[in-house]
Amino acid sequence: MSATSDGPGAGRHLGDLAELHALGALEPDERAFVEAHVASCARCGEALGAAEATVAALDEAFVPLVAPPERLGERIAASAGVALVRPLAPQRAVRRSVSPSVRALATAAALAFAVGIGGSALVERNADVREAGRQSAILATIANSHFNHVGFMARTAAAPVGKVLYARDGSWFYVIVDGVTCDCRVIARSAGGERDLGKLQVRGSTATLFVRDVPQPASLELVDATGKVVSAANLRYAAP
């Protein structure tokens, strides 16, 4: 152990202060010392970086994720003085317990899709009757189930926006992805390993995949043609 300091002071290394700083357990004057020191000490900077990575892992594991309000992104962009093509927004969607009103909307959408109400573009594109019948069966399953939905969290900048609707008991999964430009497959990951569920089926600007009989994976991943995970969604199920 090369570090020698137990407290702020010129010419000393950080010692235990690196870990304490990463945890936020220091007083303001000690923090200032740490930041000033690592600006000129690569060794302590490395130790601090390792401690920060460990605390980040704790955060990822133990902090329940809550999506920030939209206005926070707008406020940050305005304060930063940057002109954005799209509003600042985190890519991971908020997961909500499905309320009756949402279920009603889903049901209405499913029925509209199934019978072609409202000039559905998707139905128009799917002129093939057998395909339309298959979609109808899928959406009828969704409309008559208790289900959860969760957004995919992007792992790359080019990741498409998508979400998973899935039965609370894990009996089916419906992956919906917008703006698919990659040749993506869906991988189910669980403690027992991974399973390739198949390739997304592209229809116009939307791609979907409906699967049954997958034993409750912990997560689904979208994997591009090179094998890279472009986004992932974590799933949870109702207690048996």
Partner 1 sequence: MYDRSGTAEHEDARIAADFLAGKSRGLEGLYAAYGTLLFSVARKILENGEDAQDCVHDALLRLWQNSESYRPERGSLRNYLLVCVRNEALTRRRNAARRFRIEERATFAEGPAYEFEVSDHVERDRLRRALGSLPADQRAALELAYFGHLTHVQVAERLGEPLGTIKSRIALALRKLNAALAAPGAGAS
Interface positions, 2-61, toward partner 1 (CB under 8 A): 6, 15-28, 31, 35, 38-39, 42, 45-46, 48-61
Does 73 interact with partner 1 (rule: CB under 8 A)? yes
**Counting every residue, how long is the chain?**
240
CB of 163 or CB of 203, closer to partner 1: 163
Rule CB under 8 A: say whether 197 interacts with partner 1.
no
Can you tell me which of 8, 95, 145, 200 binds partner 1, judged by CB under 8 A? 95
C-alpha–C-alpha distance, residues 51 and 20, integer Å: 9
Token representation of residue 32? 């200032």
Q: Are 98 and 105 in contact (CB under 8 A)?
A: no
Q: Please give the Cα distance from 174 to 153 (Å, whole number).
A: 16
- Name the one range near partner 1 by CB under 8 A: 101-109, 114-122, 138-146, 222-230: 222-230
Taking the CA atoms of 32, 34, 39 and 45 in sequence, report the sign of the dihedral they define: negative
Q: How many CB atoms lie within 10 A of CB 233?
A: 24
Amino acid in position 11: G
| Among the residue ranges 89-97, 121-129, 132-140, 165-173, the one whose residues contact partner 1 (CB under 8 A) | 89-97
Token reading at 231: 């986004």
For partner 1, how many residues bind (rule: CB under 8 A)? Answer: 83
136-175 binders of partner 1 (CB under 8 A): 150, 153-157
By CB under 8 A, residue 238 contacts partner 1: no
Name the residue nearer to partner 1 (CB basis): 2 or 79: 79
Minimum CB distance to partner 1 smaller for 133 or for 179: 179
Contact window for partner 1 (CB under 8 A) among 77-85, 118-126, 135-143, 206-214: 77-85
Q: Show the beta-strand stretches assigned E in 114-191.
A: 147-151, 153-154, 161-167, 172-178, 185-190
Q: Which residues contact 159 (CB under 8 A, 6 or more apart)?
A: 91, 152, 222, 230, 231
User: Interface with partner 1 includes 76 (CB under 8 A)?
Assistant: yes
Residue 100 makes contact with partner 1 by CB under 8 A: no
The whole-angstrom separation of Cα 204 and Cα 181 is 11
Shortest reach from residue 235's CB to partner 1, in Å = 8
Residue 12 or 92 with smaller CB distance to partner 1: 92
Stretch that binds partner 1, among 74-82, 103-111, 119-127, 134-142 (CB under 8 A): 74-82
Give the single-character DSSP code of 24. T
Radius of gyration of the chain (CA): 24
